[in-house]
Amino acid sequence: MAESDASTTVFVERMPRHPLVWNNHSMAWISDRIAGIVENKAPLWWWVTIAITSSFAAFGVFCILYLLFTGVGVWGNNIPVGWAWDITNFVFWIGIGHAGTLISAILHLCRQKWRTSINRAAEAMTLFAVICAGIFPAIHVGRIWMVWFMAPVPNPNWIWPNFRSPLMWDVFAVSTYFTVSVLFWYLGLVPDLATMRDRAKGRVSRTIYWILSFGWRGGNRQWRHYEMAYLVLAGISTPLVLSVHSTVSFDFATSLVPGWHTTIFPPYFVAGAIFGGFAMVLTLMLPARSLYKLHDVFTWDHIDVMCKLLLVTGSIVGYAYCMEFFVAFYGANPFERFAFLNRYFGAYWWASWTMFTCNVIMPQLMWVRAFRRNWAIVFFVSMCANAGMWFERFVIFVISLHRDFLPSAWRMYYPTWVDVFTFIGTHGIFLTLFLLFIRFLPMVAMSEVKSVLPESDPHYHPPAGGGEEPVEEAHA
Amino acid sequence: MSAAAIRRPVFGIIAEFPSATTLYEAAERVRDAGFKFWDVHSPFPIHGMNKAMGLGKSPLGYIIFCGGFLGFTTAALLEFIPSSFLFPLIVHGKPVNFFTVPPFFPIMFELTVLISAFTAFFGVFILNRLPRMHHPLFDHEPFSRVTNDAFFLVIESVDPRFSETATREFLEGIGGKAVTVLYAND
C-alpha cells in the first residue's frame, strides 16, 4: 500500500485513522495477552459463573427430557396456538446466530479490518446460538424418534419429503449454516492453534494443539491457499447469512395466516437477526473485555462501530414494523387489518409495545456519541435489543395465531413452567458453551489482529522519533 | 544438538528477519536470484507476498467451483428424481414438473454452498500437504516463534541453485540474521 506510505511522509492526514490496536502494542504482547487467558489458571468468577450457567443448562435438559417422556402437552401450546415459545425460541436463537458469520464474511469482503478483534468470539457465539436453536425444532415434534422425517429420505411407505416445502428448506438452511460456520470458524482458528502449540509447556497440551493445528507452519505457500479459502468462504457465506433467516421467514410468509403472509418478511427478518446478533455480541464482549483486560484490542472504536450497526438495523426493523402496519391498512384485507390492530391493541398489547420500545426507540440513543462510549448505556441498549427481539418473535407467532379466522377457535396462550425453564435452560447451555470456549481456545484471532498492525504492512517504515516503543498502559 | 554429526542430508538453510518489511524485501531478492524451492514464514499472511515471491493466484478457487457445481448437481438430482419420478407429490394442486423449479432453488443453493465450503476447508489442507506433524523446521528452536512475532526465510536444498556455502552467504547478504543449516529428520 504505497499510498499509506506516502501519507506518513509527504503530508499529514487531516483526520488520521485511529489505530485498530491501541497503545502501539507489539505482536508478542498480543500473543501473550490472548493466549495468556487460556494458559493461566481460571479466575474465580469463571468457576462461579459456569457453576450457575451449567446448573440452568442441566435443569433445561431435565425439562427437555420431561417433555420427551411425557409429550408436548407439558407445554402451553394449544389449538390454535400450535407454535408458541418453541418456535419463538428457535427463531430467537437462529437470529442471534447471524452476527458471527456476518462479521466474518460480509465485513471481510468489505475490508472492514476492525472485525479482526471480535470475529472469533462472534463466530463461536454463532455456533452456540445455532446449537440452542436446533434443539427446538427437534423437540417440538413431540415424538423425537420421528425426527428423521426431516431428512431427505423416503419414509417406510416410500413417500419422499416435499422438497417444495419451506420446512424442508429450513432443515437444509439451518444445517448448512451450522456446518459452514463451523468450517469457517475452525479455518480461522488453525493459525492460532499453532500459536498455542508453540507456546505450550506441557507435553500433552502441546500434542493436542499440534493435532488441532494440523502442524501449521505459517509459510507463505500455505497462507496463499489459506487466504483464497478464507476469501471464498466469505464470499459464499455472505449469501448464506442472508438466506438463512430469509428461509426461516418463508416458514411463515408462505402460509396464509394474517400477520405472516407478507413479502416484507425476508429482509425484515434478516435485519432483525443482525440487530439481535450484534446486541448479543456486545452483551458478551463488554464483560469479557473488562474481565480479561482487552481494552486495547477490543477498543471503544469497535464498540462505537457496533453501536452504529445496532442503530442502523434497529431502524430498519422499525421501518418494517411501520410498513407492515401501513400495508395492513392499505391492502384493504379485513383479516390483515384486524391482525395488526389486534397486535398493538389486543390482549397482548404489552408484548407488542415492549417489542417496539426495545427494538426501535431504545437504539435511537445510539445517535449520541457520548452514549456509544458509555458502557452502561451500551450494555442497557443491547440488553433491550436481546429482549425486544425475543418479543418480536413472540408477537409475530403467538399473537397472529391466537386470533385466527374463526372466533369460535380463539384462545389465549399461557406458558407453563416447562416452557419457561426450557428457554432459560438454553441460555444456560449457550453461556456454558461460551465460557468453555473462552477458557480453552483463543477468544481473539491473534494472527488476524497482528495482520492489521501498522508494522505488518510490508511497505511500512517506522516514523522518525521512535514512536515504535510499545507503551504498557493504564487499563489495569 | 549436533545434527551434522548424525550425517543427515541437508534440508535447507533458514534465516531470520526482523520485520515484515525486511522479509518482503528479502523475498523479492530471492525471487530475482532465481530460486524455486523456498518459502517465507510469518505469523500472519503478508499483503502482496505472493507477488514478492513470484507466486500466482492459488488454484483453490477453481477447485471450489467444481465442488460447488457438484453440490448443485447433487441437490438437483436429490430433488427432481424423487419429486418427478419416484413419488410425485401433488401439494396445493401444483404440478410436478421441471417448470415448477423456483421452489426447488433454496435446497440447490444450500447444497452448493455446503459442498463448496467443504471443498474450501479440505482443499487448503490437501494443497498444503497437511496435516504433517514432523518437519525439519520444527527442529529449529527459534522457529517456534514464527507463530508469535518472528519472520523466517527458508531455501531448500532441493533447489538447483542451492549450495551450502553460497546460499548462506547470499542470505546473510540480504539481511538475514541467525542463518542456520537445517537437516532432514526422516
Residue B100: band (very low, low, confident or very high) from pLDDT cuts 50, 70, 90: confident
Whether the pLDDT of residue A466 is over 50: the answer is no
Residue A474: band (very low, low, confident or very high) from pLDDT cuts 50, 70, 90: very low
Whether the pLDDT of residue A100 is over 90: the answer is no
Whole-number pLDDT of residue A306: 93
Residue A476: band (very low, low, confident or very high) from pLDDT cuts 50, 70, 90: very low
Interface test with B, best of A228, A248, A451 (most B CBs within 10 A): A228
A28 contacts in chain B (CB < 8 Å): 148-149
Whole-number pLDDT of residue B5: 56
Residue B8: band (very low, low, confident or very high) from pLDDT cuts 50, 70, 90: confident
pLDDT digits 0-9 by tens, A249-303: 999 999 888 889 889 999 999 999 999 999 999 999 999 999 999 989 999 999 9
A27 contacts in chain B (CB < 8 Å): 43, 148-149
A372 to chain B, closest Cα gap in Å: 32
Query: Within 13 Å, how many C-alpha atoms sit on residue B31's CB side?
Result: 16
Whole-number pLDDT of residue A2: 43
Whether the pLDDT of residue B1 is over 90: the answer is no
Residues 6+ apart with CB under 8 A from A284: A121, A125, A434
Whole-number pLDDT of residue A468: 45
Q: What are the φ and ψ backbone dihedral angles of B130, each rounded to 5 degrees?
A: -115, 160
Interface test with A, best of B128, B147, B158 (most A CBs within 10 A): B147
Q: Minimal Cα distance from A233: which residue of B?
A: B117
Residue B114: band (very low, low, confident or very high) from pLDDT cuts 50, 70, 90: very high
CB contact under 8 A, B60 and A228: yes
> Angle, nearest 10°, between helix axes A375-394 and A85-96?
140
Alpha helices per DSSP H over chain B? 20-32, 49-53, 60-80, 105-127, 164-173
Interface test with A, best of B19, B89, B122, B124 (most A CBs within 10 A): B124
Q: How many CB pairs below 8 A link A and B? A: 221
Across the range A139-162, mean pLDDT stands at 87
Across the range A86-97, mean pLDDT stands at 94
Across the range A409-414, mean pLDDT stands at 92
pTM attached to this predicted model: 0.91
Cα gap A385→A233, rounded to integer Å: 29
CB contact under 8 A, B123 and A152: no
Across the range A403-426, mean pLDDT stands at 93
What is the biggest distance separating any 2 CA atoms in chain A, rounded to whole angstroms?
A: 82
Whole-number pLDDT of residue A3: 45
B33 to chain A, closest Cα gap in Å: 18
**Strand, coil or helix: A374:** coil
Whole-number pLDDT of residue A457: 85
Across the range A318-336, mean pLDDT stands at 92
Q: Minimal Cα distance from A165: which residue of B?
A: B103
Q: Which of A43-47, A457-461, B141-145 has the lowest mean pLDDT?
A: A457-461
pLDDT digits 0-9 by tens, A177-205: 999 999 999 999 999 999 999 999 889 99
pLDDT digits 0-9 by tens, B25-75: 999 999 999 999 999 999 999 999 999 999 988 999 999 999 999 999 999
Whole-number pLDDT of residue A279: 94
On the question of a cis peptide bond just before residue B102, with omega within 30 degrees of 0, the verdict is no
Whether the pLDDT of residue A371 is over 90: the answer is yes
**Strand, coil or helix: B154:** strand
Residue A132: band (very low, low, confident or very high) from pLDDT cuts 50, 70, 90: very high
Considering only the beta carbons, identify the residue of B43, B55, B110 that sits closest to A172.
B110
Side chain identity at residue A264, one-letter code: I
Whole-number pLDDT of residue A455: 84
Residue A142: band (very low, low, confident or very high) from pLDDT cuts 50, 70, 90: confident
Q: Minimal Cα distance from B147: which residue of A?
A: A195
Considering chain A, what is the average pLDDT of its residues?
A: 89
Whether the pLDDT of residue A469 is over 80: the answer is no
A209 contacts in chain B (CB < 8 Å): none
CB contact under 8 A, B91 and A159: no
Whole-number pLDDT of residue A435: 96
pLDDT digits 0-9 by tens, A68-89: 999 999 999 998 999 999 999 9
Considering only the beta carbons, identify the residue of A165, A220, A227 that sits closest to B53.
A220
Whole-number pLDDT of residue A157: 85
Q: Which residues of A365-387 are buried (b: 16+ CB within 10 A; e: fewer)?
A: bbeeeebbeeeebbeebbbbbbb
Based on its alpha-carbon atoms, the radius of gyration of chain B, rounded to whole angstroms, reads: 25
Q: Minimal Cα distance from B131: which residue of A?
A: A214
Considering only the beta carbons, identify the residue of B39, B116, B148 that sits closest to A220.
B39
Cα gap A339→A325, rounded to integer Å: 10
Whole-number pLDDT of residue A133: 95
pLDDT digits 0-9 by tens, B145-160: 999 999 999 999 999 9
Residue B93: band (very low, low, confident or very high) from pLDDT cuts 50, 70, 90: confident
